[in-house]
Structure 1
Amino acid sequence: MKFLISISRSIDTFNEKIGHAVSWALLAAVLICTGNALVRYIFNTSSNGWLEIQWYLFSAVFLLGTSYTLRRNEHVRIDVISGRFSKRAQVWMDIFGFSFFLLPMAGLILYFAIPFAWISIQSQEMSSNAGGLIVWPAKLLIPIGFLMLSLQGVSELIKRIGFLQGLVDASEFEKHAATPEEEIEAIKTANNLK
């Protein structure tokens, strides 16, 4: 089990790095969107390529960021219900959810996404819009994103099982987000406003 826990930590580290890196794609999408809107309204001109690159960047953020979100336990859940149970019961619920919902769904999408992307790569598919971009990089994001999500799902499953065996502390899979009070305090500290 210790070997699996080390694999889990490697997956976590990989997805953390990708999550941080892909967050810059959101900034790029916002800047491109802003620039495109300004050019469209000031000069009355635009390009479909600029619109499509925004979609590609947003797709990258969404598809490559899901594993990071799962890693940080920030995915959508029904905390109102699960919060009433003991930590062990919550872990069993997570194991059930990962085993019977997340991993089969991600595996099924991955199964269909690989040939979908491969056909696009082989045909060097281009956008049907005038001035559009090549399409295969965006389609390639689908299997990559769901492969990362599947790996993170396996990592989360390993951590939950490790917790039940007393080998992993719950802090390794609990939410990492700060409370609003903690965020305000961090801002005050950073700005020396105490």
Structure 2
Amino acid sequence: MPLIRLIDGINEIVGRAVSWVAIIFAGLIIYDVVLRYVFNAPTLWAFDLTKHLYGFYFILLGGYALRHQAHVRVDLVTENLPSMPRRIVEMLGYPLFFFPFAWVFTYHSYLFAQRSWMQGETTYGSIQLPVYPVKIAMAVAAALLLLQGISEFLKLAIGPREESKDVG
């Protein structure tokens, strides 16, 4: 189904791109530690910047994690069920639990990001980094998670789950 491929593709691209952020913030942490303990010259900005990058990393991987079934699941109800009843229970879980949560998360994170953008919100401290990029990322992540939920629901609705193929 083209819609499923489109949503899965978007979350795959975002997930793979965002995974590089981990390397960047690890490099910044190492850089700051070396400056702090070897040269006794800590940076003023590295700690705040790595917190921001970790926020990007953590939040933007939600849709990617759902695509690859990496979210924590409570399978106590479904683990002993045959395939078809399990699929029905999982399908019911999306409209009852996932979609309401994902919609509220998307809507409120959008308002949260909009308010931050309009105020030009920054961090407190010696270096004032803008906060709104992280909050915008949260709104984008919520929308990606909602879209991936739609994709996963459609996969359950149209037939047996195809195993995702890892590329490269």
Q: Distance in 2 between matches of 1:54 and 1:110?
A: 24
Residues 18-74 of structure 1 show CA distances to partners (whole Å, capped at 9, x for unaligned) of 111111011111111111112111233333421122112111121111101100112
Q: Between Structure 1 and Structure 2, which shows a larger proportion of helix residues?
A: 1
1:49 equivalenced with 2:45 (yes/no): yes
Q: 2:161 aligns with which of 144, 164, 170?
A: 170
Please state how far the C-alpha of 1:93 moved relative to its aligned partner. Answer: 2.0
Please state how far the C-alpha of 1:80 moved relative to its aligned partner. Answer: 5.4
How many percent of aligned residue pairs carry the same amino acid?
A: 27
Aligned pair count reads 166
Q: Distance in 1 between matches of 2:43 and 2:114?
A: 27
Instruction: Give 1:190's aligned residue.
Output: none
Instruction: Give 2:134's aligned residue.
Output: 138
Q: How does 1:35-114 map to 2 (within 5 A)?
A: 35-79=31-75, 81-114=77-110
Bigger CA drift: 133-142 or 81-90? 81-90
Instruction: Give 1:182's aligned residue.
Output: none
Quick check: which has more Rg, 1 or 2? 1
Instruction: Give 1:148's aligned residue.
Output: 144
Q: Distance in 2 between matches of 1:19 and 1:112?
A: 23
Task: Specify every segment of 5 or more residues in structure 2 that has no aligned partner in the other structure, as ranges.
Answer: none
Q: Distance in 2 between matches of 1:115 and 1:80?
A: 36
Q: Distance in 2 between matches of 1:151 and 1:111?
A: 13
Instruction: Give 2:122's aligned residue.
Output: 126
Alignment RMSD, CA only? 1.8
Task: Specify every segment of 5 or more residues in structure 1 that has no aligned partner in the other structure, as ranges.
Answer: 164-168, 178-194
1:27 equivalenced with 2:23 (yes/no): yes
Letter in 1 for 2:14: I
Report if the CA contact (8 A) 2:94-2:149 is conserved: yes
Please state how far the C-alpha of 1:141 moved relative to its aligned partner. Answer: 1.1
Please state how far the C-alpha of 1:77 moved relative to its aligned partner. Answer: 1.1
Instruction: Give 1:10's aligned residue.
Output: 6
Report if the CA contact (8 A) 2:35-2:43 is conserved: no
Letter in 1 for 2:162: S
Residue 171 of structure 1 aligns to a residue whose secondary structure is: coil
Q: Distance in 2 between matches of 1:153 and 1:131?
A: 38
Please state how far the C-alpha of 1:81 moved relative to its aligned partner. Answer: 4.6
Report if the CA contact (8 A) 2:29-2:47 is conserved: yes
TM-score normalised per structure 1: 0.79
Q: Distance in 2 between matches of 1:100 and 1:58?
A: 31
Report if the CA contact (8 A) 2:113-2:139 is conserved: yes
Letter in 1 for 2:49: I
Residue 73 of structure 2 aligns to a residue whose secondary structure is: coil
Letter in 1 for 2:26: V
Residues 73-120 of structure 1 show CA distances to partners (whole Å, capped at 9, x for unaligned) of 121113455221112122112212221111111111222111211111
